[in-house]
Chain A
Amino acid sequence: MRKRRTILAIFCLGQILLPSLAQAAELKIQAPRQFGYFVGDLIEAYVGIRTPQSAELQPASLPTPGPLNAWLTLRGVTVSRSKEVAGTLWHLHLTYQNFYLALDVREVEIPALSLTFQDGGEQTTVEVPSWRIRVAPLREVLPEKQENAVDYLRPDAPNVPVVERGEVRTGVLASLTVLLALLCLRDRALWPFQKRRARVFTAAARQISALAKQTTGPEFYPAAFRTLHRSLEKTAGHAILFEDLPAYLRNHPQFAPLTESFQRFFEASREAFFSETDKDLSHLFGKPDLLAFAWRLAALERAVP
């Protein structure tokens, strides 16, 4: 369907006298345009009728949607009214569909219709006159000769959605709403913008604290060290050995204040797992120190947004 912003007044019937209503009824018809309709196009028409306030439109007098003649179908009728000082303004929106298969540009007539108003005990009929539009052909009368009959056909048009102004408005509003929602999510650092970092070291610190309560002997150290090693691997994404420590701290600068503790941790871990000498690990890295190290790591991890 084509629409123009400018509404063209087809004509106005000023002062249709409704003698029984003892007041003037004013009628006007508007359509977007009078020309350039192709087969299948929708024709929108607006009829405005001003009546005395006491007059009521009889719904039965409204035209029934359906075929009106061989080439015109009424697709829909909507009625609304608005109160005015001088009376009531009735708004009648009519949607026709044109099926006139024109061979040249020609003028056709949209038929007249009658509306009945009841005012008290009296009935009055208002005639909405016929009006004319111009329809146009889609193709020339004699197309260029084609050897193959199929060549007269055109390929299907790409499926371009026709956007109504209302749809555009709805789309814009919906987009703005979604954008606003996304901005809110981003501001609150909610999914999907920032899934909160897994707090690997917090979990490790809790595990080590639980271990410290459960174990009293030297078996605490290997288990606690392994827990921290696994956490380091999780945060780095690959195995981390002692010699990788400088690179790890470069990539995770939030832990830089703990460089010395990291150094001691790796040395103690080396002693625990790989050295042949069975040193007392509590001298290298006491239990309280290890717990403090783990919780400090957890705190620094939480400090990074």
Chain B
Amino acid sequence: MFQSQLSASSLGDWRERAARLEAEVEKAILGQSRLIRLVTIAIFACGHVLLEGDVGVGKTTLLRAVSRALGGGYARVEGAIDMMPNDLLYHTYLAEDGRPRVEPGPILRQSDNLSIFFFNEINRSRPQVHSVLLRLMAERKLTAFNRDYVFPFLQVFADRNLIEREETFELPAAARDRFLMELSMATPQDPAIRERLLFDPEFYDVDGLLTRIGETVLDYRKIPEVALAVQQSVRAKGALRSYLLRLWSALLDPASAGIALPDVDLENIVRGGASPRGLAFVVRAAKVRAWLEDRDYLVPEDIREIFVETMAHRVFVDPVYALRGDDIVRQLCRAVLDVIPAP
């Protein structure tokens, strides 16, 4: 297995840089400390993120702020029903000589240094597009012009439109499972922050707002190596391992674990998705959280902090509960955390 060459002291330096990244992003995004922390965890776990939130809460601003602080390329694509995979890869146009030209699209052009790729309203695009995205997320590689393009530093952020159902294609289970987390971005609750967002002119101009963020707080090219070092340096002891295994069992069979939810038959609720890969993602994210908290071992709080965001979108419930949205799975995850004791 590849061993990271990063020493403990340089991991400490990187923790400080991660804290600076959070601080810089918080300059532009008010009242979203926990969300920014979770995005930071996703970055240092090299995981892709599904963003969910109402229109106008600042999802794009958050990603642009993160992208500016990370450095590297930023590309954004809008999902549309007539979008095809080639629209992602190629840029086709008529040249001055009247001949059609096909050139690499914005993603391929930046492949070597693309750090954040934002796919807006991913469920408006077709499954063919999802499959290309799936490969990009899983392998960080695409094939075009008869060659492979590699994206070593890419992180995909996608946003699902949950309001309109017409002309949308729900992401297949396999695609959702590739995302490390699904994060909900809500309007801040603090009245003072709300007031600032409404009346402070600096929040009217997103571009101006982003210039306040220090550029390239950390070198995005180093992140994969740092992520590997974090995974290797943070340990999980027996009691923690058994705690996570008990959480997993309770999630698969909530009724046996003594969990009760109002108006839900928990005997047959979970149909799939609480997979080994999903739980491995939980461990990955929890280790990053432990590292950010300056610990070299996992504690149950690390698991709990990221559990709902990392598990809920990859658990699939009986279709009878589908109309109740994702809330029911989140409730189930929280109930599991409440019931399963630690240590």
Contacts and interface: CB of A to CB of B under 8 A. Distances in A.
- Report if A and B associate in a common complex: yes
B222 interface: no
B16 interface: no
Contact of A239 (B235, B239, B299, B341): B341
A225 B296 CA distance: 22
A239 B338 contact: yes
B297 A241 contact: no
A233 interface: yes
Interface residues of B, number: 18
Given A226-B343, A269-B343, A241 B235 contact: no
Contacts of A272: 343
Nearest to A240: B341
Interface string A225-249: 1100110010000110111000000
Contacts of A222: 343
Contacts of A269: 343
B99 interface: no
B237 interface: yes
Given A229-B343, A238-B338, A274-B343, A243 B301 contact: yes
Interface residues of A, number: 18
B341 A276 contact: no
Interface in B281-339: 296-301, 304, 337-339
A274 B339 contact: no
| B contact patch SS | mixed
Contacts of B343: 222, 225-226, 229, 269, 272-274
B157 to A, nearest CB: 28
A270 interface: yes
A275 interface: yes
A239 B343 CA distance: 10
Nearest to A277: B297
A239 to B, nearest CB: 5
B342 interface: yes
Contact of B342 (A239, A275, A276): A239
Contact of B341 (A230, A242, A275): A230
Given A239-B300, A239-B337, A274-B299, 17 more contacts: A229-B343, A238-B338, A238-B339, A239-B339, A239-B340, A239-B341, A241-B299, A241-B300, A241-B342, A243-B301, A273-B240, A274-B240, A274-B298, A275-B297, A276-B235, A276-B237, A276-B296
13 contacts: A226-B343, A238-B338, A239-B342, A241-B300, A241-B301, A241-B304, A270-B299, A273-B240, A274-B237, A274-B300, A274-B343, A276-B296, A276-B297
